[in-house]
Amino acid sequence: MAHTPVLVKEAIEGLSIKSGDTVLDATVNEGGHSSLIAQYLDEKGTIIGIDEDTDALVEARRNLGASRCTIILAHDNFRNLDRVLEKHGIQTVDKALFDIGLSSRQLDESKRGFSFQKDEPLLMTFCPDLETCAFTAREIVNTWTEQSITDVIYGYGGERFAKRIAREIVKERKIKPIERTGNLVAIIERSVPHGYRFGKIHPATKTFQALRIAVNDEFSALTEGIGKALERLNKGGRIAIISFHSGEDRIVKNFFRESAKTGLCVIITKKPIVPSDEEKRRNPRSRSAHLRIAEKL
């Protein structure tokens, strides 16, 4: 399934892009936002796109191939954006965009176990070479203590039945290792009350989200990435961040707030911008998106 970028119009208008800008797309994915940003840029403009997903970068290169502006694509984590910029001789940028969410393709086709709707190996890592991946969700559920698993599921997922789920995970792994997402979903379903199992969201949603965040150290990466992006922004430059998780949105809100207190930036969005009802109908995966924008002083 092709990925549908979220809050595109709102993010691009909020960035206030000029024709000769240097724009950092810290989560370029398949180039959904960047292909539209490129329409605002001329031959003097530049887009630097970063992504950990090599398959996504192949699609981004294809989607951005006809752009008038300079396109630079880099395979890396956005927490290393300073290293990427230095490698390409770029000291500062005029605009920065972060879209902190999985693409439809990563959920539906990656075979890495990101989705609880498919029975796949329990990996949840963006590591490009699965043979050399040092850390996966399989390691967490099969080797961590019950308390540590509880802490991850509750702390990163806000799952109120985290203790029950962790207890059942430990019980099951004593019988046989938990190797696939289907196994984990079955464990979660029998761990939670009947009413919760058939509630508004799937009972595995928060646990899967929490494990993915832990495996990829996403909260720390986001904090580092925002800090480095603000540092590299030119005066008057803007940064826009789209998040899909309350914990991520809290990190962005607090980072912007603290940066505003020290005079580093001014917050453009006093409240987060959320998708319209029409966008939610067209793209249900957009429903939890929050966009916040700040401007460098």
Domains, the chain, with CATH or none: 8-105+218-296 (3.40.50.150), 127-215 (1.10.150.170)
- The predicted pLDDT at position 199 comes to 81
Provide the percentage of residues in the chain whose pLDDT is more than 90. Answer: 77
| Residue whose tokens read 């300073």 | 82
In terms of DSSP bridges, do strands 22-25 and 46-51 run parallel, antiparallel, or are they unpaired?
A: parallel
d(CA 196, CA 51): 36
The 10s digit of each residue's pLDDT in 20-66 is: 999 999 999 999 899 999 999 999 999 999 998 888 899 999 999 99
- The predicted pLDDT at position 60 comes to 94
What pTM did the predictor assign? 0.89
Within 8 A by CB and 6+ apart from 85, the residues are 24, 48, 91, 93, 232
- Residue 274 tokens, joined: 């959320």
Q: Is the pLDDT of residue 109 over 80?
A: no
pLDDT category of residue 108 using cuts at 50, 70 and 90: low
- 106 annotated among ligand-binding-site residues: yes
Q: Are 22 and 93 in contact (CB under 8 A)?
A: yes
In terms of DSSP bridges, do strands 265-267 and 290-296 run parallel, antiparallel, or are they unpaired?
A: antiparallel
Q: Is the pLDDT of residue 1 over 50?
A: no
The 10s digit of each residue's pLDDT in 260-270 is: 999 999 999 99
87 — phi, psi (to 5°)? Answer: -60, -35
The 10s digit of each residue's pLDDT in 178-213 is: 999 999 999 999 999 988 988 888 999 999 999 999
d(CA 141, CA 148): 10
Provide the percentage of residues in the chain whose pLDDT is more than 70. Answer: 94
- 88 annotated among ligand-binding-site residues: no
User: What is the arrangement of strands in the sheet containing 290-296, beginning at the earlier edge strand?
Assistant: 70-75, 46-51, 22-25, 93-100, 233-243, 290-296, 265-267
Q: Buried (b) or exposed (e) across 244-281, using 16+ Cβ within 10 A?
A: bbebbbebbbebbeebeeeebbeebbeebbbbeeebbe
Do you know the residue count of the chain? Answer: 297
SS3 4: coil
HSE, side-chain direction, 13 A CA sphere, residue 140:
28
SS3 156: helix
The 10s digit of each residue's pLDDT in 71-84 is: 999 999 999 999 99
- Rounded to a whole number of angstroms, the distance between the first and last alpha carbons of the chain is 40
Closest to 56 in 3D by CA, of 91, 24, 29, 86 = 29
Closest to 181 in 3D by CA, of 122, 124, 140 = 122
Identify the helix (H) or strand (E) that includes residue 240. strand 233-243
193 — phi, psi (to 5°)? Answer: -60, 155
